[in-house]
Amino acid sequence: MSYSLRLSSRVLQKSFRFALQTCTCQQHGLHTSRTQKNKEPEQEGKGFDLKSFPVDSIRNFSIIAHVDHGKSTLADRILEFTGAIKKDADNKQVLDKLQVERERGITVKAQTASVTYEYKGQTYLLNLIDTPGHVDFSYEVSRSLAACDGVILLVDANEGVQAQTVANFYLAFTNELSILPVLNKIDLKNADPEAVKDQLLTLFEIDPDEVLMISAKKGIGIEKVITSVIERIPCPAEKCNPDAPLRALLFDSWFDKYKGAVCLILVVDGTLRKGDFVTSVHTGKSYEIRDLGILTPQERSIPQLFAGQVGYFTANIRSAKEAQVGDTFHQKGIPCEPLEGFREAKPMVFAGMYPMDQSEHPALRAAIDRLTLNDSSVSINIESSAALGQGWRLGFLGLLHMDVFNQRLEQEHGAQVVVTTPSVPYKVRIHGEKALREYGEEEPTITNPIQWPDPQIIVETSEPMVMGTIITPDSYLGAIISLCQDRRGIQHNLRNLDQNRIIVQYKLPLNEIVVDFYDHLKSVSSGYATFDYEDIGFEPSSLVKLDILLNGIMIEELSTIVHSSRARTVGKRICEKLSNTLPKHLFQIAVQAAVRGKVLARTNIKPVRKDVLAKCYGGDISRKMKLLKRQAEGKKRMKMYGNIEVPREAFINILKR
Ligand SMILES: Nc1nc2c(ncn2[C@@H]2O[C@H](COP(=O)(O)OP(=O)(O)OP(=O)(O)O)[C@@H](O)[C@H]2O)c(=O)[nH]1
């Protein structure tokens, strides 16, 4: 799905103007006039104050669902229905602002929109947070939920409950949020709302009478969703105190090249005003609030934010480290207890990232720094490689996350990067004083095979495990079970979801699923099975470092960590890939894969053959034999002393995914 940027900016400009008109009209009971339409946004912004929204008229909520169940479409309809954007056929996923989101048709970044709605004589301020559906972005979901009191749990009435519906339900449930179940896509011919209601009852004990039925695409049932949000999701009164000194939770941030970090906050206690001085609990640094506002969904300046309200501020914060998501801000000089943060992002997949050309290193560093401000779930460590130069080892929540980060670096910052094959973190228990001094702890976490300790000092190795939940039509169960077994999975649970669908849980090593498990699952189930996983910690496992040697010389960059039962197969695969990628030399090259010096796989790269007999017309056979013998001796010598040149491009081809 791709929309041109021109189109999206047109939609957003339109929506901005319309949002301003609506809010002003609702505030002052005016009708939209020609003069209002032509007013400058800044002038209108000055007149808008959130004072008239006491805590009991605020609803902070999120839409959570499995991927593609229609969250962004429902968000569009809510924005239209409340007048925040004009009703327009162009309004498609208005909150998906990033180019990568529009190109891939997925949400990767949670977005917020504040809208107002009149209901039973009172005007409500509804803060809607659109969240991503894909498993790799569940951190965005958990972060959004920290600012919410309730969620709309959206389920496709045709596809029914899927793996991420289950994961998202439990995320909201454990956060003690009110859950408003909504079935979407009831306009589809194959929609079976009654069966899906049964699934919700079986799995989550949701009363079928409480479930709303809508079509976000056709705009059916939207009003009921909005009024149910007002009636069934509590206001933030319980956790907010308007009379206490300021306490604000930072739950998202992004970088603006003119204003610095833009911080999205929930004001939990007190009031925040433009010009106030605030202090971060995390860094102890103080800042003057330069701009304060709400997202409608465009940034819109306002003079103050009150308890229970969601908005943004800018304070000339220039570094990602100073705008840490989960931080608490208080009034300068009036310290407070930090607010309870939320689940820390835990990178699951690590990969090296290097500039295409070393001269681009400073520019890439700046680009990564800015992008991590927008996506704080990425971890960064400096890394260097003899072949690829100076770079970074970045940690991501999953493979799609890594791909999207890479694409955003290119699209939003114009950076060209080399990304190496992803790996997962391992834990290695070591012994010996020298070893402990070197690694600094008894059980270091290894994110790069180069750091793997000498086998002599290893006591035990552990790898990260996940609990995978798969929902599938029963006809694909056999193929899915053999796929999971092939990936060293152990079945944990299996039960019927309804007459023809099964929910099955497998304990799997993360290493076995990071690269291509999802693709294989989709292919063996004709695209019907859905998968979600949660981290369940490290477990002891027999892990070894697989080294790659070229004519006996170890190439550090190509080493990988594998389960001992997989070493031979993986070694064979790498050797074959290398022999197809490396340029031929004048002598033969032996490509070997070895564990602790024992060779497990080998391929040979044949030498380039120079025709030494070309100039030898006719003549004696012994002369020819002599030339051939001399050539063979030369090659033998070269093999001993000749340097194998691995061009940077070949490395890039081998190392990149
Ligand atoms: N027929 C029908 N299609 C719908 C409806 N709601 C959404 N869709 C379609 O479903 C697809 C996915 O919708 P999105 O709104 O992007 O779904 P999403 O849940 O935000 O997706 P992610 O952000 O990637 O998780 C789009 O093609 C929509 O047009 C509906 O009520 N009926």
The mean pLDDT of 27-31, rounded to a whole number, is 28
Q: Which domains does the chain have, with CATH numbers?
A: 50-237 (3.40.50.300), 241-331 (2.40.30.10), 349-419 (3.30.70.870), 426-541 (3.30.70.240), 544-655 (3.30.70.2570)
278 against 655, higher pLDDT: 278
Give the pLDDT confidence score for residue 418 in this predicted structure. Answer: 81
Give the pLDDT confidence score for residue 8 in this predicted structure. Answer: 31
Tell which atom from ligand 1 comes closest to the C-alpha of 216. Answer: 31
3-state secondary structure of 643: coil
**Cβ(67) – ligand 1 distance below 6 Å:** yes
Binding residues for GTP: 65-72, 130-134, 184-187
Choose the most confident range, by mean pLDDT, from 76-85, 171-180, 471-480, 521-530: 471-480
37 against 304, higher pLDDT: 304
User: Under a CB-based contact definition with an 8 Å cutoff, are residues 449 and 545 in contact?
Assistant: yes
Distance 128 CA to ligand 1 centre (A): 17
Q: What is the pLDDT of residues 309-359, one digit of tens each?
A: 989 999 888 776 677 777 889 998 888 877 775 556 678 888 888 888 778
Give the pLDDT confidence score for residue 643 in this predicted structure. Answer: 63
Split at pLDDT 50, 70, 90, the class of 189 is very high
**Cβ(73) – ligand 1 distance below 6 Å:** yes
**Cβ(281) – ligand 1 distance below 6 Å:** no
User: Under a CB-based contact definition with an 8 Å cutoff, are residues 507 and 492 in contact?
Assistant: yes
Residue 350, strand partner residues: 395, 423
Give the pLDDT confidence score for residue 635 in this predicted structure. Answer: 66
Q: Provide the CA 384 distance to its chain's centre, in angstroms.
A: 25
Give the pLDDT confidence score for residue 9 in this predicted structure. Answer: 30
Tell which atom from ligand 1 comes closest to the C-alpha of 1. Answer: 27
Give the pLDDT confidence score for residue 508 in this predicted structure. Answer: 94
> Which amino acid belongs to residue 67?
V
The mean pLDDT of 410-420, rounded to a whole number, is 81
User: Under a CB-based contact definition with an 8 Å cutoff, are residues 510 and 424 in contact?
Assistant: yes
**Cβ(138) – ligand 1 distance below 6 Å:** no
Distance 72 CA to ligand 1 centre (A): 7
> Which amino acid belongs to residue 174?
T
Give the pLDDT confidence score for residue 45 in this predicted structure. Answer: 42
**Cβ(103) – ligand 1 distance below 6 Å:** no
Distance 90 CA to ligand 1 centre (A): 15
Choose the most confident range, by mean pLDDT, from 290-304, 439-453, 511-525, 590-604: 590-604
652 against 562, higher pLDDT: 562
**Cβ(131) – ligand 1 distance below 6 Å:** no
Question: Smallest Cα–Cα separation from 426: which of 563, 321, 298?
Answer: 563
Give the pLDDT confidence score for residue 135 in this predicted structure. Answer: 56
402 against 186, higher pLDDT: 186
Distance 74 CA to ligand 1 centre (A): 8
Q: Within 129-276, where are the H helices?
A: 138-145, 163-174, 193-204, 222-232
User: Under a CB-based contact definition with an 8 Å cutoff, are residues 426 and 462 in contact?
Assistant: yes
ipTM: 0.97
Q: Give the range among 36-50, 95-109, 231-245 with minimum mean pLDDT.
A: 36-50
Choose the most confident range, by mean pLDDT, from 24-38, 408-422, 485-499, 618-632: 485-499
Which residues, 6 or more positions from 627, have their beta carbon under 8 angstroms from its beta carbon?
A: 612, 613, 616
556 against 288, higher pLDDT: 288
User: Under a CB-based contact definition with an 8 Å cutoff, are residues 229 and 221 in contact?
Assistant: no
Q: Give the range among 147-156, 320-329, 460-469, 588-597 with minimum mean pLDDT.
A: 320-329
Give the separation between CA 203 and CA 206, rounded to whole angstroms: 8
Distance 62 CA to ligand 1 centre (A): 16
Tell which atom from ligand 1 comes closest to the C-alpha of 154. Answer: 19
Is 629's pLDDT higher than 50? yes
**Cβ(220) – ligand 1 distance below 6 Å:** no
Is 432's pLDDT higher than 60? yes
Give the pLDDT confidence score for residue 640 in this predicted structure. Answer: 53
The Cα-based distances of 461 to 172, 430, 508, 588 in angstroms read 35, 9, 16, 37
User: Under a CB-based contact definition with an 8 Å cutoff, are residues 137 and 71 in contact?
Assistant: no
User: Under a CB-based contact definition with an 8 Å cutoff, are residues 606 and 588 in contact?
Assistant: yes
Ligand 1 pocket mutation, candidates 217, 222, 530, criterion most atoms within 8 A of CB: 217
Q: How many CA atoms lie within 13 A of 413 on its CB side?
A: 25
Q: What is the pLDDT of residues 477-505, one digit of tens each?
A: 999 999 999 999 999 989 888 788 899 99
The Cα-based distances of 649 to 398, 440, 450 in angstroms read 26, 36, 21
Split at pLDDT 50, 70, 90, the class of 89 is low
Q: Which DSSP helix (H) or strand (E) runs through 317?
A: none
Is 642's pLDDT higher than 80? no
The mean pLDDT of 366-381, rounded to a whole number, is 81
Q: What is the pLDDT of residues 260-281, one digit of tens each?
A: 888 888 999 999 998 999 998 8
**Cβ(317) – ligand 1 distance below 6 Å:** no
The mean pLDDT of 394-411, rounded to a whole number, is 82
Ligand 1 pocket mutation, candidates 3, 68, 106, criterion most atoms within 8 A of CB: 68
H helix and E strand count, the chain: 18, 31
Choose the most confident range, by mean pLDDT, from 27-31, 51-55, 93-97: 51-55
Q: Which DSSP helix (H) or strand (E) runs through 489?
A: none
**Cβ(71) – ligand 1 distance below 6 Å:** yes
Instruction: Calculate what percentage of the chain has a pLDDT beyond 70.
Output: 81
Give the pLDDT confidence score for residue 152 in this predicted structure. Answer: 94
